[in-house]
Amino acid sequence: MLRHLRTPSHPDLLVGTDTADDAAVWRRPDGRVLIATVDFFTPLIDDARTWGAIAATNAASDVYAMGGRPLFALNIVAWPQGELPLDLLGEVLAGGEQAAADGGWLVVGGHTVDGPEPLYGQAVIGEADEADLLTNNGGRDGQALILTKALGTGVVATAVKRLDAAATGSGGRLESSYRAAVAGMTTLNAAAAAAARRAGATAATDITGFGLVGHLRKVAAGSGLGARVDLGALPVLDGVRALVDDGFVPGGTSRNLADVAGSLRWGSEAARQRWEPIVADPQTSGGLVFACPPERAADAVAELRAGGHAAARIGELTAAVPVGVLDLA
């Protein structure tokens, strides 16, 4: 069994490892804070430049989830150079650089190693005003929960890997869902973070590998509350339900469900069977979930939808549900 690392402590370490937040936060002498995060993964689609853009967008998402803005990043690369040409790596890095340019941060270096399979991501440093920080433990009783992107990218990525390349092309089975998934995964969460701040949000997280229920449970538990989720309000990528019915469910979904098994209360068995593969789907570069005053939720959703986000009010944080428990109906 692995030994647990010591929980770090320092007067200027505002957010470390003890709250399962998205990034570390360090107080600077000028009253602002630095936000530090890192993320990387293997290819989930065939197009190298798009993979690079998705990976960089995903890495910066943790900064946005904390209420900050990215400043600069370092590339992290493992590359099997004996098997894949370096020109292809150049495409990956170009995609990451384009995402950074779109988000206003600089890629200032990095490190590359020879590895058995390609890996790419970024270590991102951002900043924020301390008063603007959004954390897992900032939620309040009665706040509305806003989800800013549609769910289902894990299902689509699984189908892409299992089907032939023609499935994503013109007229292919995955054409519509693939395009929607790529559009979502390459959309920065900058606008979502800005909308959260304008709505008076006090807690947020981004939805990535642990799925909606895994990440939302951390916010509820950290805030000392439970949550109610309106399943019918959840935005889902086109075509995902049919893909689930045909068995294109990632292996990570069952692990996510096992992790939250004691924290989910389903309104019915039919709801559980229909929604489990969606709410536990491991997302890549997913949206934010943020908690804001209920009277400001509609304006936040309208603002995000006007900007092209598939945003929706999906429920509420509440003391009427046990701490860390999610009621799904």
Q: Is residue 139 part of a domain?
A: no
Q: Are residues 63 and 161 in the same domain?
A: no
Q: In terms of domains, do 101 and 214 share one? A: no
| DSSP tag of 318 | E
User: 240 lies in a domain?
Assistant: yes
Mean pLDDT, residues 200-222? 97
Report if residue 217 sits inside a domain. Answer: yes
Is residue 4 situated within a structural domain? no
Question: Residue 3 domain-assigned?
Answer: no
CATH for 200:
3.90.650.10
- Using 50, 70 and 90 to split pLDDT, how confident is the model at 230? very high
Q: Give the distance, in angstroms, between the CA of residue 73 and the centroid of all CA atoms in the same chain.
A: 18
Burial annotation 280-303 (CB, 10 A radius, 16+ → b, else e): bbbbbbbbbbbbbeeebbeebbeb
Same domain, 323 and 285: yes
| Residue 2 pLDDT exceeds 50 | no
Inside any domain, residue 2: no
Same domain flag for 315 and 170: yes
Q: For 9-33, what is the mean pLDDT?
A: 85
Domain range enclosing 186: 144-328
Element at 86 (helix H, strand E): helix 86-103
Domain boundary among 132, 163, 191: 132
CB 212 within 8 A of CB 280: yes
Decide: 125 and 36 in contact? Cβ < 8 Å. Answer: yes
| Percent of the chain residues past pLDDT 70, beyond the cut | 98
Read off the pLDDT band of 11 (50, 70, 90).
confident
How confident is the model over 169-210, as pLDDT tens digits?
A: 888 899 999 999 999 999 999 999 999 999 999 999 999 999
Residues 168 and 307 in one domain: yes
Domain boundary residue among 132, 160, 188?
132
Which of 101, 132, 163 delimits the end of a domain? 132
| 81: exposed, middle or buried (Cβ count in 10 Å: 0-12, 13-18, 19+) | middle
Identify whether residues 122 and 149 lie together within a single domain. no
Say if residue 4's pLDDT is above 70: no
Q: How far apart are CA 243 and CA 156, in angstroms?
A: 8
**Whole-number pLDDT of residue 169:** 87
Domain count, the chain: 2
In which region does residue 141 sit, left (phi positive, over 0), alpha (psi from -120 to 50) or beta (all else)? beta
Residues 86-103: what's their mean pLDDT?
Answer: 97
Model pLDDT, residue 88: 96
Q: Which pLDDT score is estimated for 24? A: 92
| One-letter amino acid for residue 203 of the chain | A
Helix, coil or strand: residue 328: strand
Same domain, 120 and 213: no
| 70: CATH | 3.30.1330.10
Provide the CB-side half-sphere exposure for 95 (13 A, CA).
Answer: 24
Average pLDDT of the chain to the nearest whole number: 95
pLDDT in the model for residue 1: 39
Asked if residue 215 and residue 286 are part of one domain, the reply reads yes
**Same domain for 149 and 56:** no
268-306 pLDDT, tens per residue?
A: 999 999 999 999 999 999 999 999 999 999 999 999 999
pLDDT at 5: 66
pLDDT confidence bin for 166, thresholds 50/70/90: confident
Specify the 3-state DSSP secondary structure of 293: coil
Question: How many Å apart are CA 123 and CA 279, to the nearest integer?
Answer: 28
pTM for the model stands at 0.94
